Amino acid sequence: MLFFLKSPVTESKTSITPKKVNPNRVRDHLANERTYLSWMRTAIALMGFGMVILRLRAFHPPLVPRPGYGWKLGLMFALVGLLTVFLTTAHYFTVRRDIDEDTYEPADRWVVLFSLAIVILGAGIIYFVATSPDLLMGSMLTSSPP
């Protein structure tokens, strides 16, 4: 009997369908976290490699009395690693929000930015190795055979 007393307006208000939930939402969030942790490992490796380059001078004093450019290259690696931490943290939270809102679109700028940074750092290593005096050959020539 109450079925006939309901108005069509109230019936349409109560039959609003909820927003469809993405069935892959949990998997997407876990993939986002794995990607974030991968970028953190990359940042730690870059900073660690920068420290190795900086500390190399302490273990092998250069033949040239001037400081050289090795410390600048090491500092660049450490700074790119630190910048990677900041940028990937911001990117993680942006992607997290986009996954929740179901509006995620992959951006190519991060791939291009970090690829360019690694190419520049790699070129710096090649330049550093090519222009540094040959420390190993110099120490091998001055040492006596066993």
Q: Where are the domains of the chain?
A: 25-130
Instruction: Write out the H or E segment, with its range, that includes residue 25.
Output: helix 25-59
Spatial separation of the C-alpha atoms in residues 116 and 30, rounded to whole Å: 27
Per-residue pLDDT for the chain (146 aa), expressed as one digit of tens each?
A: 444 444 444 454 555 665 677 778 889 999 999 999 999 999 999 999 888 887 776 555 556 566 666 778 888 889 999 999 999 999 999 999 999 988 888 888 888 988 998 899 889 888 877 776 654 455 444 555 55
> What is the C-alpha separation between 49 and 96, in angstroms, rounded?
30
CA distance 28 to 93: 13
Where does 62-145 have alpha helices with state H?
Answer: 70-101, 109-131, 135-142
Q: Which residue's entry shows tokens 């996954």? A: 99
Question: What is the model's pTM?
Answer: 0.66
